[in-house]
Amino acid sequence: MNIAIKNILTVLPGETPEAPQTVKKTDLYIQGSRIAAIGEAPADFTAEKTIDGTDKLLIPGLINAHTHSYMAFMRNCADDLSFMDWLFGRIDPIEQKMTDEDAYWGACLAILEMMKSGTTCFNDMQMNIMQTTRAAKESGMRAVISRGLVGSGDDEAGRSRLKQAYAERDAFRDCDRLTFRLGPHAPYTCDEAFLKILAKEAEQENMGIHMHLSESVTEIENCRKDYGCTPIELAERTGLFNRPFIAAHCVQVTDSDMDIMAKHGVSVVTNPASNMKLGNGFAPVPEMMAKGINVCIGTDGAASNNALNLIHEMSLVTLIHKGTHRSPQCVSAEDAFRMATINGAKALSLEAETGSIEVGKKADLAILDLKCPSMWPVNNPIAALSYSATGDEVETVIIDGNITMENKKVLTLDEERIYFETARIMERIG
């Protein structure tokens, strides 16, 4: 569809990749799935739909670089517990009883929340195949999907999960909004031999990797005991870092770990709410930025956050490091904006397609209402996104050139049905 968005305050990239974002009032034209022009209409352009941008803000759709969508129905069911009580007392028993259909409805609820708060693309690690993928496809979302892989050496279980991952990828080849990565779960659920197999598989299949790394002190201690090295060093020596690599968490990393990641172009996803909530602490985000590591932002799953709202995470990532570093200049709103947009796109190898408002890129966009107390007066929209917005300012979402949400109503999902089904799941297995 040809869409024109007129007279809208728009966040555009700076003149160079390092320059601050530019915010200016302009017009934007969408043809098919892509941004066709900014400012002047393309030749022979006839808008089938025109959106009035008065008192609105146009931003690139946000990218949630680490989540587990299926968990959304578990939100607020296991809080203020020790890690062991949280995992083995509450989450694990629910997961054991969860069906594929439950995972699908969980993913639908997650996508509803993400879309409503301006996210247009997410990077997911799931334990049931086909379900989050199905929800993403139906909802119009852009997504990168990893089936969580767990295994020891060349064991049957690991091989079988890998086959599932390939089967899923092949089943969704018709949907170009979906891409797939291999998802070794973590150093404590995959042994070194299995990680080496996955590194080779990823090479052969030309796939990127998405893995939990260096989340907790216990993980580091066990890795040192088992392998005599840090999780980052283990990932490097198994060859995994030779592939495009997304490392979720990296809370407990050494200076040398950061150098290794910088050298290999590893992207780090910081998940501030989850890392605090589970008592893991604060990732050294300013230090990783200083080393040139591409840092982006994730929500993690709703069992450990409990929201999937990237605006909330932007607020956290800008505030907490100012607190830990006693510096009001640490991790700026501009930094958080990049992390939630273009850095996420880079991490997912989607930089050419999404993450900024540029002619030729996919039209993945969010339109926010400015006339609300959290955004008014319009003194600095980039600062507002991190420091005063809640996420509920998002009115309209466009993904791949399709309007998936309009006037705060998601058009691609049956919201009432999702509420009905997810409540029923928790009644049954919660």
- Residues 70-109, interacting with a second copy (CB under 8 A): 72-77, 79-83, 86, 109
Which of residues 167 and 423 has its CB atom nearest to a second copy in the complex?
423
Size of the site for a second copy (CB under 8 A): 73
Nearer to a second copy, 72 or 365 (CB): 72
Q: In Å, how far are 196, 233, 241 from 238, measured between CA atoms?
A: 5, 9, 8
CB of 75 or CB of 210, closer to a second copy = 75
Among 126, 309, 341, 404, binds a second copy (CB under 8 A): 309
Min CB(56)–a second copy separation in Å? 14
Stretch that binds a second copy, among 34-42, 152-160, 179-187, 270-278 (CB under 8 A): 270-278
The smaller minimum CB distance to a second copy, of residues 238 and 252, is found at 252
306: preceding bond cis by omega (within 30 degrees)? yes
Alpha carbon dihedral 171, 175, 181, 183, in 10-degree steps, equals -60
CA distances from 16 to 20, 182, 350 (A): 8, 33, 19
Tell me the closest approach of the beta carbon of residue 124 to a second copy, in angstroms: 16
Q: Whole-angstrom Cα distance, residue 271 to residue 269?
A: 6
Q: Which two tokens stand for residue 211?
A: 């893995």
Backbone angles phi, psi at 188, to 5 degrees: -95, 0
Choose which of 325, 351, 358, 411 interacts with a second copy (CB under 8 A): 325
* CB of 14 vs a second copy, minimal distance in Å: 16
Q: Which of 276, 291, 406, 411 binds a second copy (CB under 8 A)?
A: 276
User: Rule CB under 8 A: which of 365-394 touch a second copy?
Assistant: 371, 373-374, 376-381, 383-384, 387-388, 390-392
Judged by CB under 8 A, which of 57, 273, 293, 295 binds a second copy? 273
Residue 222 interacts with a second copy (CB under 8 A): yes or no: no
Residue 299 C-beta: closest distance to a second copy, Å: 10
Interactions with a second copy, residue window 49-68 (CB under 8 A):
none
Q: How far is the CB of 122 from a second copy (least distance, A)?
A: 14
Q: Report 247-266 residues binding a second copy (CB under 8 A).
A: none
- List 23, 193, 319, 429, residue binding a second copy (CB under 8 A): 319
Q: How many CB atoms lie within 10 A of CB 370?
A: 20
CB count within 10 Å of CB 291 equals 15
Which distant-in-sequence residues (6+ apart) come within 8 Å of 386 by Cβ? 311, 314, 315, 317, 318, 333, 336, 337
The least distance separating a second copy from the CB of residue 276, rounded to whole angstroms, comes to 4
Interactions with a second copy, residue window 145-164 (CB under 8 A): none
The minimum distance between CB 281 and a second copy, in angstroms, equals 5
Q: Which stretch binds a second copy (CB under 8 A): 45-53, 143-151, 198-206, 274-282?
A: 274-282
